Amino acid sequence: MADTDKYMAATITRRVDHAEDLFTIWLRPEEGLAFKPGQYVAFGLHDHEQKVLERAFSIVSCPAEEQLEFYIERVQTGALSPRLYDLGIGDAVLMRKKAKGIFALDTVSGHTKHYLICTVTGVAPYVSMIRTLLREEAAGHPFGGTLVLMQGAATSHEFAYAREIEAAAKQVSWLTYIPTISRPWEDLEWKGERGRVDDLVRKYSDQLGLAPEETTGYLCGNPGMIVNARGILKRRGFGDKAIKEETYWAPGEGEVEY
């Protein structure tokens, strides 16, 4: 059975399906969960030996929200995500009592520009950061920096948070959102940027003046994208400390198109 010092029950209160394998769930944990924007928490279900089969998930919601929100991809061959996909409102998972992670907005270097790069569900920590900054702004504490968020996916159906981010980008001058798709022939209505997100890293770094002296780069999601984008940022002059990474699975484990 789950160790009650480590785990608590968290009940699904809402679910939205975005595309075939992409869904958002809202969870209400039985105890509160303290976290910072950009962090993740592990949760899961009992396996057949009554051990907890758990995985890490970045938190989409911001700390001020009552429920925890997660944007999840069902990995067809995966052990946990297909089981999570089968859950509905009222079902519960076992959640760690502590959030973890150091993938936070850089407040140490003095950089004022933040180049946020991700694939599909890797947008989760950035949404939490943006929601937090918007709330701070509404409370009279304007954000002094700029965020450029670039998200890659095969088709636009995977941009579940696009409407929210685009609305935020219209509301504040410090946010730019660039979604890009790698399979435009499957998405003929798409009018936006095309190509894999890592292939556009240099272009927008130059075009938007994201110079290494004043910019921190953030890479989240697909490990293949992270390896490529890291190389491009380094060649552009970004130092190791100016690149933050959140890799969702081990490189080389699964070549997944993005």
Ligand X SMILES: Cc1cc2nc3c(=O)[nH]c(=O)nc-3n(C[C@H](O)[C@H](O)[C@H](O)COP(=O)(O)OP(=O)(O)OC[C@H]3O[C@@H](n4cnc5c(N)ncnc54)[C@H](O)[C@@H]3O)c2cc1C
Q: Which is nearer to ligand X, 56 or 172 (CB)?
A: 56
Least Cβ distance, residue 124 to ligand X (angstroms):
4
Structure tokens at 146: 């700029």
Cα separation of 64 and 133, whole Å?
A: 11
CA distance 212 to 160: 30
Q: Which residue is nearest to ligand X (CB)?
A: 78
Rounded to a whole number of angstroms, the CA Rg of the chain reads 18
**What gap in Å lies between CA 169 and CA 192, rounded to an integer?**
15
Name which of 14 and 235 has its Cβ closer to ligand X: 14
Whichever of 57 and 174 has its CB closer to ligand X, that residue is 57
Q: Residue 202 in 3-state DSSP?
A: helix
Nearest-approach distance from CB 5 to ligand X, in angstroms: 22
The residues near 256 (Cβ < 8 Å, ≥ 6 apart) are: 222, 224
Say how many Å lie between the first and final Cα of the chain, rounded: 38
CB of 221 to ligand X, least distance (A): 7
* In the complex, minimum distance from the CB of residue 112 to ligand X, in angstroms, rounded to a whole number: 26
Instruction: Choose between 118 and 210: whose C-beta lies nearer to ligand X.
Output: 118
Residues forming contacts to ligand X in the complex (CB under 6 A) are 40, 55-58, 70-73, 75, 77-81, 121, 124, 246, 248-249, 253-254, 256
**Least distance from C-beta 56 to ligand X, angstroms?**
4
Cα 157 to Cα 205: distance, rounded to the nearest angstrom: 26
C-beta closer to ligand X: residue 72 or 210: 72
Residue number with CB closer to ligand X (206 or 257): 257
User: Which residues lie below 8 Å from residue 59, measured CB to CB, with a gap of 6+?
Assistant: 35, 37, 39, 40, 41, 68, 69, 70, 99, 124, 125, 128
The least distance separating ligand X from the CB of residue 19, rounded to whole angstroms, comes to 12
